[in-house]
Amino acid sequence: MARMRRKGDLPTKTCAVCGRPFTWRRKWADVWDEVRYCSQACRRQAKHDRAAE
């Protein structure tokens, strides 16, 4: 059985839009290297910013 991890021991990244740190989530296990945004709102903002350029 897998060893339990504390929430503080999980890997973190910084959001590309808002700059806030966010932690690993189980649903991101397979795509963690590709995750760039902390939320859907930040993803939409990035898309909006690219379209405005």
pLDDT of the chain, 53 residues: tens digit per residue: 667 878 888 999 999 999 999 999 999 999 999 999 999 999 999 988 888 87
What per-residue confidence (pLDDT) applies to 1?
A: 65
pTM of the model: 0.77
Structure-block tokens of residue 44 = 């939409």
**DSSP result, 10-34:** S-EEE-TTT--EEE--GGGTTTGGG
Residue 1 lies in a domain: no
Distance of CA 39 to the CA centre of its chain: 7
Residue 5 lies in a domain: no
- Radius of gyration of the chain from its Cα atoms, rounded to whole angstroms: 14
Runs of H (alpha helix) within 1-53: 40-52
Fill in the DSSP letter of residue 16: T
Q: What is the domain count for the chain?
A: 1
Q: Which residue segment(s) compose the domain that 32 sits in? A: 11-52
What per-residue confidence (pLDDT) applies to 52?
A: 80
